Amino acid sequence: CSGHSLLVGHAFPWPDCDRKNLEPYGGFVTTQAKLRGLGIGAGYFAPFQYEAWSRIPEVEILAVCDDSESRAHDMAAQHGISRHYSDWRRAIEIERPDFVDIITPPHSHAEICAYAAERKVNIICQKPLSDDFETSKRIVENANTSGVRFMVHENWRWQPWYRKIKEISNHGLIGDLTHIHVITRLGDGWGDEPYSPRQPYFQDYPRLLIYETGVHFIDTFRFLMGEITGVHAQVYQRNPK
């Protein structure tokens, strides 16, 4: 999704990611009244989002919404948010937020994004953006047509080691980057019941490594070296569960 990388919510896990650091990368920076947000989702990743928003003085999260009213209630109470909903459409209509923070599984993103964009509500959406590339393009095109600001959650580019690589590159200390070689060993997805009870739907998710982890690498490479023109991957399954 060219030109639409994150950059709030997950954007603040590190102390040096202050408002000044956000400005060159398209983050929300405002000297006006607080931006009013609606959180849609109260699952595994949601606490990271709400906690991060609480540290941004220019933002107020109005309410939490989740299909499970009890989860929405508990999440709102945990983060000092006064209202909660079990119907995200109703929440958008009642709260009239400046933006929605969509923290839900990929299959739900297209519908929520379309509804918010139609009502001129700015959108921050969890990755992966959707279950397939064509739907992802449609989400972005629809947001552009509607004239709303659209961003995708990404956090790897904000990790301090990648920020340092970017700083070194910008200062020309090692010349132009020509290639990147990364070796990593992921700590999840193992055992007889991988991702359970954290994110059990991952067990049946097609091309999980690409959608859930590969997009992190792609965004990080974009951050370090510019836009990507093509992607090729060889993957295989290590855990039959």
CB atoms within 10 A of CB 36: 15
d(CA 116, CA 103) in angstroms, rounded, equals 14
d(CA 87, CA 72) in angstroms, rounded, equals 10
Among 63, 48, 76, 84, which residue's Cα sits nearest to residue 198?
A: 48
pTM of the model: 0.80
How many Cα neighbours within 13 Å face the side chain of 234?
A: 0
pLDDT tens-digit profile, the chain (241 residues): 333 333 433 333 333 444 445 444 445 455 568 999 999 999 998 999 999 999 999 999 999 999 999 999 999 999 999 999 999 999 999 999 999 999 999 999 999 999 999 999 999 999 989 988 899 999 999 999 999 999 998 889 999 999 999 999 999 988 888 888 888 777 777 778 787 777 777 777 777 888 888 889 889 999 999 998 888 888 887 777 7
